[in-house]
Amino acid sequence: MAAGTAVVFPGITPCPYQDVAKFMLLNPVARRLVSQADEVLGYPLLERYRAAEGEFSEYARVAFLVNCLALAQWAEEALGLRADACVGPSFGGTPAAVHSGALGFADAVRLTAGWGHRADAYFAREYGDVVTQSFARVPRERLAEVRAELDEAGEWHEVACHVDEDFHMLSLREHRLDWLRERLRSLGGMPLYTMRPPMHARAFAPLREEMERELFRSADFSAPRIPVVSDHDGRVLESGAEIRTMVLDGIVRAVEWPTALSALKGLGVTRLCVAGPDSLWGRVRCVTGNFEVVPVDPQAALRRPRLAA
């Protein structure tokens, strides 16, 4: 085992069925997890995933969980990338909890499926006009200026993610979206994609309370076998209660990715295994400039399908 390796479970990204179906059907680890997920859900995951509409359906979310965990286990067995710690920005906190040993796979499947139902219902009745805009090439001090202007105009807004020192996600009312994009461009920024529904805002505390009361009560979190780093403040979590709180707090707390990465460096981590489909979290400068990065996605696993003896 190489010392100083951490596994990163990326935040969820749009992942069409056809992009991952071959991996899920052929990889022995993925097939085993799909079978276990079918038992928990009471329906065939792959059939529902193939027929589902929308990028973040219940089935797409569970499939993303399955793929991240299968890829992490494959990387450990086939590539010898055994993790000394793990971290998961945003949605990645759930597979991180499972891989660390703090949460059972069956509980994670139930939480992931139920989370989608409750979040969809909440945002259908609350904050339906709020979106999250991602953008690059805007330093934190320039972002502070933009937020001050929104404050002066009496507009609600919250930072959802600090992805890098000049890469952020900001939630605000949709009627100010065009203004925000133009303002960012005036600062040399690059508006990227707009997400709906939003997440990671203090205003969504009622949703967190609902999730804790109705969904998390039956989930069993225990002490992890390896440290889990919080994506909110970089704390090293070593108890089941702390990890449970971290997953729930993903609803109301911003992701502070540079802070989490600094904590990993403090643990002596020099190499990151990014386990899962990823177009963001393992590619920004605060990652590539500080760590050796090993992307482990379905295509990589298919190119080298045999597991080490």
pLDDT of residue 182: 98
Backbone angles phi, psi at 256, to 5 degrees: -115, 80
For residue 54, pLDDT beyond 80: no
- pLDDT score for 303: 84
Q: How confident is the model at residue 3 (pLDDT cuts 50, 70, 90)?
A: low
- The pLDDT value recorded for residue 4 is 92
- Please choose, from the candidates 174, 179, 181, the residue with its C-alpha nearest in 3D space to the C-alpha of residue 131: 174
Predicted pLDDT at 306: 54
Nearest to 67, CA basis, from 103, 20, 11:
20
- What is the average per-residue pLDDT within 59-74? 97
Closest CA to 97 of 263, 241, 299, 235: 241
Q: What percent of the chain has pLDDT over 90?
A: 90
Q: What is the mean pLDDT of residues 41-61?
A: 92
Q: Measured between alpha carbons, how far is 60 from 50 in angstroms, rounded to an integer?
A: 9
Neighbours of 52 (CB within 10 A): 15
Where are the domains positioned within the chain? 5-124+202-303, 129-195
Averaged confidence pLDDT in the chain = 94
Token reading at 230: 């919080």
The pLDDT, as a whole number, for residue 1 is: 34
Same fold, 5-124+202-303 and 129-195: no
Identify the CATH number of the domain defined by range 5-124+202-303: 3.40.366.10
Cα separation, 161 vs 298, in Å, equals: 26
Distance CA 274, CA 10 (A): 7
Rounded Cα distance, 137 and 115, in Å = 33
Residue 77 scores a pLDDT above 60: yes
Class of the CATH domain delimited by 129-195? alpha beta
pLDDT in tens, 264-275: 999 999 999 999
CB 72 within 8 A of CB 273: yes
**In this predicted model, what pLDDT tens digit does every residue of 234-244 receive, in sequence order?**
999 999 999 99
**The pLDDT of residue 309 is above 80:** no
- With contact defined as beta carbons under 8 Å apart, do 192 and 66 qualify? no
Whether 62 contacts 112, CB under 8 Å: yes
Alpha carbon separation from 253 to 100, 101, 159, 256, 279 (Å, rounded): 22, 23, 9, 9, 22
CA angle 90, 237, 212 (to 5 degrees): 55
Rounded to the nearest 5 degrees, what angle is found at the Cα of 123, between the Cα atoms of 119 and 125? 125
pLDDT confidence bin for 55, thresholds 50/70/90 = confident
Tracing tokens 């660390």 back to the chain, one arrives at 100
